Chain A
Amino acid sequence: MKRRIAWAAGAVALVLLVLVPWIATPTLIQFGISMLLLATLAQGWNIIGGYTGYACFGNSVFYGLGSYGTAIAMVQWNLPFGVGLAFGAVLAVVFAFLLGLPVLRLRGHYFAIATLALAEVMTAIISNLDIAGRNIGLVLPLLKGDTLFYELSLGLLVLATLTVLWISRSRFGYGLIAIRESEDAAAVMGVNTTLHKVLAFALAAFFSALAGGIHAYWITFIDPESAFDITLNVKMIIMAVFGGPGSILGPVIGAFLLSAISEVLSTQVSTVASLFFGLVIVVAVIFMPRGLADVARRFKQYGLRYFGENVKAHRL
Chain B
Amino acid sequence: MMPILEVRGLSKLFEGLVAVNELSFEVGEGEILGLIGPNGAGKTTVISLISGTLKPSEGELLFQGRPIDQLPAYRRAHLGIGRTFQIMKPFPGLSVLDNVAVGALFGTGGGQRKLNKARDDARHWLDFVDLGHRADQRADDLGGPDRKRLELAKALALKPKLLLLDEVMAGLNHAEIDEVVDVIKKVRASGIAILVIEHVMRAIQSLSDRLLVLHHGQMIAAGVPDQVLNDPQVVEAYLGRRRA
Direct contact of A and B (CB under 8 A): yes
B96 smallest CB distance to A (angstroms): 13
One digit per residue, 1 when the CB lies within 8 angstroms of any chain A CB and 0 when it does not, for chain B 103-135 equals: 101111011111100100000000000000000
Contacts of A186 in B (CB 8 A): 102
How far is A114 from B105 in the complex, measured between Cα atoms in Å? 32
**In the complex with contacts A177-B91, A182-B91, A188-B83 CB distance below 8 A:** yes
User: Is residue B101 contacting chain A, with contact meaning CB distance below 8 A?
Assistant: yes
Contacts of A178 in B (CB 8 A): 91, 102, 106
Of B35-43, B57-65, B72-80, B216-224, the segment with at least 4 beta carbons within 8 Å of chain A is B72-80
Interface residues of B in 151-177 (CB under 8 A from A): 154, 158
B112 contacts A188, CB within 8 Å?
A: no
Of A101-109, A190-198, A214-222, the segment with at least 4 beta carbons within 8 Å of chain B is A190-198
Number of residues of chain A lying within 8 A (CB) of chain B = 21
Contacts of A182 in B (CB 8 A): 89-92
A174 contacts B102, CB within 8 Å?
A: yes
B94 contacts A181, CB within 8 Å?
A: yes
B89 contacts A185, CB within 8 Å?
A: yes
User: Is residue A24 contacting chain B, with contact meaning CB distance below 8 A?
Assistant: no
Interface residues of A in 255-307 (CB under 8 A from B): none
Number of residues of chain B lying within 8 A (CB) of chain A = 35
Interface of A is mostly: helix
Chain B residue nearest to A182 in the complex (CB): B89
Interface residues of A in 147-176 (CB under 8 A from B): 169-171, 174-175
User: Is residue A189 contacting chain B, with contact meaning CB distance below 8 A?
Assistant: yes
B73 contacts A181, CB within 8 Å?
A: no
How far is A278 from B154 in the complex, measured between Cα atoms in Å? 42
A174 contacts B107, CB within 8 Å?
A: no
User: Is residue B51 contacting chain A, with contact meaning CB distance below 8 A?
Assistant: yes
Contacts of A171 in B (CB 8 A): 105-106, 111-115, 118
Interface residues of B in 8-50 (CB under 8 A from A): none
Contacts of A187 in B (CB 8 A): 52-53, 72-74, 77
Contact partner of B78 (CB less than 8 A), chosen from A177, A181, A190, is A190
How far is A144 from B74 in the complex, measured between Cα atoms in Å? 53
User: Is residue B198 contacting chain A, with contact meaning CB distance below 8 A?
Assistant: no
A193 contacts B74, CB within 8 Å?
A: yes
A189 contacts B154, CB within 8 Å?
A: yes
A190 contacts B89, CB within 8 Å?
A: no
User: Is residue A184 contacting chain B, with contact meaning CB distance below 8 A?
Assistant: yes
A190 contacts B111, CB within 8 Å?
A: yes
Contacts of A175 in B (CB 8 A): 102, 105-106
B115 contacts A188, CB within 8 Å?
A: no
User: Is residue B69 contacting chain A, with contact meaning CB distance below 8 A?
Assistant: no
B105 contacts A174, CB within 8 Å?
A: yes
Contacts of B101 in A (CB 8 A): 174
B158 contacts A189, CB within 8 Å?
A: yes
Contacts of A174 in B (CB 8 A): 98, 101-102, 105, 115
B53 contacts A191, CB within 8 Å?
A: no
How far is A310 from B158 in the complex, measured between Cα atoms in Å? 36
Interface residues of A in 83-104 (CB under 8 A from B): none
B102 contacts A189, CB within 8 Å?
A: yes
B124 smallest CB distance to A (angstroms): 17
B74 contacts A192, CB within 8 Å?
A: yes
B77 contacts A190, CB within 8 Å?
A: yes
How far is A182 from B92 in the complex, measured between Cα atoms in Å? 8
Chain A residue nearest to B106 in the complex (CB): A190
Contact partner of A188 (CB less than 8 A), chosen from B51, B90, B105, B111, is B51
How far is A170 from B105 in the complex, measured between Cα atoms in Å? 10
Contacts of A192 in B (CB 8 A): 72, 74
Contacts of B154 in A (CB 8 A): 185, 189
A185 contacts B112, CB within 8 Å?
A: no
Chain B residue nearest to A195 in the complex (CB): B74
One digit per residue, 1 when the CB lies within 8 angstroms of any chain B CB and 0 when it does not, for chain A 55-99 equals: 000000000000000000000000000000000000000000000
B51 contacts A190, CB within 8 Å?
A: no
Contacts of B144 in A (CB 8 A): none
Contacts of B91 in A (CB 8 A): 177-178, 181-182, 185
Contact partner of A185 (CB less than 8 A), chosen from B85, B98, B115, is B85
How far is A188 from B54 in the complex, measured between Cα atoms in Å? 11
Contacts of B98 in A (CB 8 A): 174
B244 smallest CB distance to A (angstroms): 28
B27 smallest CB distance to A (angstroms): 17
For the A-B complex with A185-B89, A191-B102 known, give 9 more contacts whose Cβ atoms are closer than 8 Å: A171-B113, A174-B105, A175-B102, A177-B93, A181-B91, A187-B73, A189-B74, A191-B74, A192-B74
A and B contact pairs by CB, cutoff 8 A, 6 listed: A171-B114, A178-B102, A188-B53, A188-B73, A189-B77, A189-B106
